[in-house]
Amino acid sequence: MAPWDFSDDAALVTGAANGIGRGIATALAKAGARVMLADVAADKGAAAFAALHPHPLGHRFVAADLATRDAADRLFEQAVAAFGRVSIFVHSASPLRREAETVFAVSDEAWEQMIAVNLRAGFRLGRAAGKHMVENNMPGRMLFVTSLHAESPRNLPHYSAAKAGTTMVMKELARAFGPRGIRVNAIAPGAIAGGGFVANPAMAERIAMGRLGTPEDIAPMALALLANEISGYVTGTTVVVDGGISLHNWIAPPTEF
């Protein structure tokens, strides 16, 4: 997957049961890292864990519902207890979104869950990771999976708001921990089939490269952002990996009241 070596790293990856999170976790494992996969979907998470490239010191899977208030703190404590140290944190967890959850239809429950998992848990995990890295004098790295929704409204208000907030959390963490050699970045995928996004194949017509993306399209760029050999002077930025869909003049049809 990658020409660089992560064998000195222990990573915590949320949302790792399927889709982009699983793709990044798998790529890190193949590059030598010990990986703790975390996800609310226990069965899918266990399957993702079982499929990981073997590691002599072992990978882990933890079922975690990051919508609950204290789950983020417990999860990071579990990762440290399992590995002794965590040098990489990747936040890919996000609740399933449905295209019908427009401004006029999204429920308070869906709004609160989306914000809790993306924004609250992302901040608490990132802050815990940064403090841990500082205390252990590690040049750690963090990566947040955001979205094109973070920059442009696309008719999913709770998702767009959560991802926009996550982008600013990433920047705040990058500014706070940068003086200690800790890098924090984000990756913004386009239309990636699988995970929390059920894509209409017709969407490929709007993508410059003529096809929907896959988690395997995202993972190499994620590893590049996490590799100090490649991105050692990159922090506080978002890299878009979208096949050119953002080149499309996206005008959504009006939504009726």
- Which amino acid is located at 59 in the chain? H
Cα 24 to Cα 222: distance, rounded to the nearest angstrom: 7
The DSSP symbol for 117 reads I
Whether 233 sits among the annotated catalytic residues: the reply is: no
- For 184, the token pair is 């924090």
- Return the residue matching tokens 């963490």: 173
Within 10 angstroms of residue 5's Cβ, the number of other Cβ atoms is 12
State the chain's maximal CA–CA distance in angstroms.
58
Cα 241 to Cα 147: distance, rounded to the nearest angstrom: 9
Among residues 6, 159, 177, 197, the one annotated as catalytic is 159
- Tell me which H or E stretch contains 28: helix 19-30
- For 233, the token pair is 């002077």
Cα 73 to Cα 128: distance, rounded to the nearest angstrom: 7
Percent of residues in the chain assigned helix, strand, coil, to nearest 5: 45, 15, 40
Cα 133 to Cα 86: distance, rounded to the nearest angstrom: 7
CB 12 within 8 A of CB 38: yes
Query: Among all residues, which ones are annotated catalytic?
Result: 159
